[in-house]
Amino acid sequence: MHKQKAPMEPQNTVEKAKSALLAAALPHVPFDGWSQSTLNAAIDDSGIDRGLAQALFARGGIDMALVFHQQGDALMISAFAEANLTGLRYRDKVALAVRLRLEACPDPELVRRASVLFALPSYAPEGAKALWGTADAIWQALGDNSQDINYYTKRATLCAVYGATVLFWLGDQSDNHKDTWAFLDRRIDNVMNIEKTKAALRENPFAATLLAGPFKFLRQITPPRPRNDLPGQTKV
């Protein structure tokens, strides 16, 4: 089992306060969920100024849950960068990244409570965005540089794989989650089969002719790019 890394050292006072509050909140989440009650307990336990705490987590539990999720993505990226990838097939690298992301969580109950919160209609968009962010972080860790529709299809497919694996993981009682990793391997195989099918269609003369129009349109779709025309930014 891969050893979980400690959270990265915050860079400034605000981030240190946020990290301290989140660390103080974790023991309360299994009992009170990602809620205002948990934030209040974290404020009391950490000694962080209440005004600052409320500013950092203005919406209470949902903001804490999102920061916790983003912290897990960052831990996965760091762990993957240091992993020994020698001899690993590409599909094994994908599986490793997903596994490292799950192992970044110290307690499955923290994820279970977040899943309940993200399932609420008012927070479903936040949950979907967080899931997409995880898929994007995994592909970036793998060095993906897709510039067409593949940017979206890869992330959408991995969202489905990761989401299904999380649900299985939450109910897995096997030693060291071995059943989860077997489940993950099967899901990754399905993804690889899809990619093989797409490649075969491109190489088949008849299919390539038939799908020339759709493929031409899809190639015009590009990934989002950061804007540099917003207030406070300087154009390069």
Q: Give the pLDDT confidence of 20-76 residue by residue, as tens digits.
A: 999 999 999 999 999 999 999 999 999 999 999 999 999 999 999 999 999 999 999
Position 40 scores a pLDDT of 97
144 in helix, strand or coil? coil
How far apart (Å, rounded) are the C-alpha atoms in residues 196 and 11? 43
162 assigned to some structural domain: yes
45 assigned to some structural domain: yes
Distance (Å) of CA 96 to CA 36, 101, 120: 35, 9, 30
Task: Return mean pLDDT, the chain.
Answer: 84
pLDDT at residue 130 greater than cutoff 80: yes
149 assigned to some structural domain: yes
232 assigned to some structural domain: no
77 assigned to some structural domain: yes
160 assigned to some structural domain: yes
7 assigned to some structural domain: no
pTM: 0.80
Domain that holds residue 197: 13-219
The CATH number given to whatever domain includes residue 37 is 1.10.357.10
Residues of the chain with pLDDT > 70: what percent?
77
Q: State the first-to-last Cα distance of the chain, in angstroms, to the nearest integer.
A: 46
Lowest mean pLDDT among 79-88, 158-167, 221-230: 221-230
Position 211 scores a pLDDT of 41
Confidence of residue 205 (pLDDT cuts 50, 70, 90): low
The pair of three-digit structure tokens given for residue 118, joined into one six-digit string: 């993200």
1 assigned to some structural domain: no
Q: How many domains does the chain have?
A: 1
How far apart (Å, rounded) are the C-alpha atoms in residues 175 and 145? 36
Nearest to 68 by CA among 117, 11, 31: 117
How far apart (Å, rounded) are the C-alpha atoms in residues 195 and 211? 16
